[in-house]
Each structure stands twice: as structure tokens, then as C-alpha cells.
Amino acid sequence: MSTRYILALDQGTTSSRAIVFDQAGNIRAQAQKEFRQIFPRPGLVEHDAQELWSTQLGVAQEAITQAGLRAHDIAAIGITNQRETVVIWERQSGKPIHNAVVWQDRRTAGECDQLRAAGQEDLIQRKTGLIIDAYFSGTKVRWLLDHVPGARERAERGELAFGTVDSWLVYNLTGGECHITDATNASRTMLYNIHTGAWDDELLELLQVPRAILPEVRPSSEVYGETAEGLLGSRIKIAGIAGDQQAATFGQACLKRGMAKNTYGTGCFMLMNTAGEAVPSRNKLLTTVAWQLGGERTYALEGSVFVAGAVVQWLRDGLGIIRSSHEVEALASSVPDSGGVYLVPAFVGLGAPYWDSYARGSLLGMTRGTTKAHIARAALEAVAFQSAELLEAMQKDSGAALTELRVDGGASNNDLMMQFQADVLGVPVVRPRVTETTALGAAYLAGLAVGYWHSTEEIAAQWQEGQRFEPAMPEDERRRRLTTWKRAVERARGWEDAGA
């Protein structure tokens, strides 16, 4: 087994990727291909499901070839995917009945308003750990069944299959043999009871989703089937599945209660391991399945920041004060601090713990001495402040005190931001040596299932620190900065509503 490798398929929101890992968790080869983003109307986001499949298969073949390997050198395949995105296809032909409806799509916001008005919020949160939002899969499934001609009748006859992107990939990889999902992806649908570990009849009736179209829910690490003949040269076991943020948490080896990771991408996604306890949030966080190994589910609290790396894109494209995203760290470092400037990047409202869709971006504390460098620094600090508020909510909900925050994602390579993050958290921030943690998590789950790795303890021992940022800010200054940040947020809240 030691001369063999694991192939991770990472099907994201903008590209399909494939990475070959060795037994030490190092990257042997990787390939990536972007695909089209389809915007039928403002607020609507779709993908061509066939293109998701063809690009994912193409990069899988390319990564194996780049590594100088053949299919028989691959011990197993692990899959990680953009979560909540919905595909419905014909069981007989394997053809989708509509484009995939993407997690960012807001077409079902009105249905969500109706569910809230009908008093269903408590029921849904109690069973699923989620808030009612168009972000999740359930209302998207209902929309497709109601708006594609004949779909609902065909679904009830068992002619159609629903899946999140992991299900769609496995169905195609196995030549239609497997219609499955794992517990992490199921837990993002608003149809799955995270306590019983099963699709919930009451939720299915509420959202008018026929049981006949649902995939079978399986553990996150298990041999589900094999790739069909002719796809990759010879048949390879498919043995691991997890949604992208859960996979990153596993790849970061946050395997014990109280351990947390933050992924800095377009937005930020922070997950804290709460072990076998599905902790209900009193601070508007999400309770989600982190992974399931055998019959044992591990849970997490999750918080999301809508605008993180996107604030740097705004500095570049909106304000024009930098030409490329890479310039922001040098510009922000040219001043010792933000000069009292606070930027609240509520360009699309605020996520956890506020969930204020009427908040709007605000730039506060400027004087005649304010320069573009102060604004750039305030933008980076805003990402850290937002993440600090998520962590504060998580610690209140879980009762677990954080000892360090593990970080990944593109913006985690910004040393200035990571140092400030450590300062405002008051705990060390640690960037791993291998930062492709999402794909690595999927690889680990697949490898565990086939004996490539033998235990979670072995995986935890593989995790290696790349760089550690120790908090250096005095406690009184940290408190003062956080208090001022919260004042700035209050000035940004309810702006569109109040100004209308």
C-alpha cells in the first residue's frame, strides 16, 4: 500500500480540481479547470451539471497522468464538494432535468419567508441545526419539482434522482450504480435530522419533497463502490465523501472537541468540533455534522462571514487603490495601524452572529490624515474582527475555550492579517505546512476506509505546522479595539431599512 496514492476530487464553486496525495499527505500532482457561472437573472446562480462532471473527470485523468501513475496505483478516491448545490436527474438516462441550482442562488427567498411566517423556524432548527435560508438545498429541490414541467409527477413515480454535487459525481463515476450522499452533505439540505441520522418525514412533507428521489445517506469514510470500466483505466474504489468545509476541518486534524479552523476565501467559514454533541446555537450559528465514521457522528458549530477575501477584491476593482490582490499586504504594512479607521464590509448584509440583511458597508473614523494605506489596513483588520466575533459566539455556545485557531484558504497566506487575527483573538493562529486542507481531508477519509491510513491518531500526527502567529497585543488594547469594532458594526446595521 505504501507505494500507492490517494486521489482527491475537489469540486468547488468555480473550478473542479484533482490532487494526488502520498502517504505522508504530500501533493504528488494536481490539475484544475474552471467552468461557467450561469446567471439567468440577478440573484440566480446556476451551473451546467454535465460540465461539473466532465471537468471533474478531465482533471482526475490529468492529475493521474501528471503524477506518472496509472489507475492501479490509486488506492482510493475521496470526494469533497461545494455544499447545498442541487442537481436532479433522470435515473434511466442520467440526464439532468435542469441546470444545477447553486448554493449562492436566492430564488427561494420568498418560500423561506413563508416558512418563517408559518412559524416553522424552531422545528427546522431543532431537527436540522440550520436556520431557514435559501442557502440550503431543501427549498431549491422543491422549486425544481414545481417549475420543471412534469418533474413532480415523475419524482413521485421514482423516475428522478436528487443529489448534492457529491451524489452527482458518485452516480457518474460508478456508471449509475450508486445513488448516495454522506452525512455531512445531507446535514446541509434542511431535509435531514442530524440527531437521528436519517431523512425526516415531517421535513419532507413540509418542503414537499418525495422520499423516492433521495439518495441513501452513508458514513463519510466507507467503500461505496468502484469507478466504472473505461473511465480512469481500471476500476478504483470510491471511499470518502465530505462537504468542503467539513473536509477542511478533517484535513486540519481538528479531531478533538474545542479544536477549530477558519477558511479564508471569498467569505470565511469557521467550524469548531463539538465531538458527539450537536450543540444548539443561541447565537445564530449553524449546528452541522462534521463527519461520520462508522455509526459515530461528530458534530460542529459553524459560522460564516459573507465578505472576507472579497473585501480585497473591492479595494482592487471598486476603489482601484491596488492593482492586484497581492499588493494589499505591502500597502497595509506601510502604516503602523489603521489610524482609527474601521471598515465594516457589509456589502451584502451581515452573516453570523447578526444575520442582518439590511446592513451595508461603512467606512468610519476617517480624518484628513487618512490614506489609502489606512483603508487597506482597516479592510484586513475587518476580516479578523468578523472572525473574532464568530469565535466568541462559538465559545459561548459550546463552553469550550479555544487554545489555537488553525487557518487555511488563500487569504491565510497574508502574514499581516494572520498576526492581527491572533492579536484580536488572544490565542495563537497556526497555518499548516500543507494548505490544501479541503482536498487533503477528502483524501484522509478515503484512505481510512481502505487501510491506507489506520487511525485518526495517525492523521493527527501527520499534521505539520507551517507558521505560528502568537498574540502580541496587550489585553486592554485588544478589548478596546473589539469594543470600537462593535460600535462600528452598530452604525452599519439596518442602514438600507432606515435609509429607505
In tens, the pLDDT along 162-209 reads: 999 999 999 999 999 999 999 999 999 999 999 999 999 999 999 999
Tell me the three state secondary structure of residue 474: coil
444 marked among binding-site residues: no
For 105-163, write each residue's pLDDT tens digit: 878 888 888 999 999 999 999 999 998 888 899 999 999 999 999 999 999 999 999 99
Domain count, the chain: 1
Looking at 399-499, list the stretches that DSSP marks H as alpha helix, in order from N- to C-terminal side. 415-425, 437-449, 456-462, 475-492, 495-499
Query: What Rg do the C-alpha atoms of the chain give, in angstroms?
Result: 22
Contact 403, 258 (CB under 8 A): yes
Tell me the three state secondary structure of residue 42: coil
Report the distance separating Cα 389 and Cα 107, nearest Å.
29
**Which are the contacts of 169, defined by CB distance < 8 A and separation ≥ 6?**
9, 11, 52, 53, 56, 79, 81
* CA distance to 267, 269, 307, 351, 450, per residue, from 348 (Å): 11, 16, 8, 9, 44
State residue 34's pLDDT score.
Answer: 86
135 marked among binding-site residues: yes
273 marked among binding-site residues: no
**Greatest Cα pair distance in the chain:** 69
**458 is a domain residue:** no
309 marked among binding-site residues: yes
In Å, how far from its chain's centre is CA 261?
Answer: 12
276 marked among binding-site residues: no
| Residue reference for cell 496509472 | 70
Average pLDDT of the chain to the nearest whole number: 92
**124 is a domain residue:** yes
445 is written with which cell numbers? Answer: 477519509
**86 is a domain residue:** yes
State residue 497's pLDDT score.
Answer: 60
For 14-23, write each residue's pLDDT tens digit: 889 999 999 9
State residue 498's pLDDT score.
Answer: 46
**154 is a domain residue:** yes
Per cent of the chain over pLDDT 90 is 75
84 marked among binding-site residues: yes
State residue 500's pLDDT score.
Answer: 46
220 marked among binding-site residues: no
Contact 341, 362 (CB under 8 A): no
Ranges of the chain with pLDDT below 50: 498-500
Tell me the three state secondary structure of residue 477: helix
Report the distance separating Cα 213 and Cα 154, nearest Å.
10
370 marked among binding-site residues: no
**30 is a domain residue:** yes
Instruction: Specify the CATH number for the domain of residue 122.
Output: 3.30.420.40
Q: Phi/psi of residue 2, each to 5°?
A: -70, -25
313 marked among binding-site residues: yes
Q: How many CA atoms lie within 13 A of 421 on its CB side?
A: 32
State residue 340's pLDDT score.
Answer: 94
**333 is a domain residue:** no
46 marked among binding-site residues: no
414 marked among binding-site residues: yes
State residue 360's pLDDT score.
Answer: 87
**50 is a domain residue:** yes
Tell me the three state secondary structure of residue 5: strand
Domain span holding position 176:
5-245
**484 is a domain residue:** no
Contact 437, 251 (CB under 8 A): yes
In Å, how far from its chain's centre is CA 207?
Answer: 24
State residue 39's pLDDT score.
Answer: 86
pTM value is 0.88
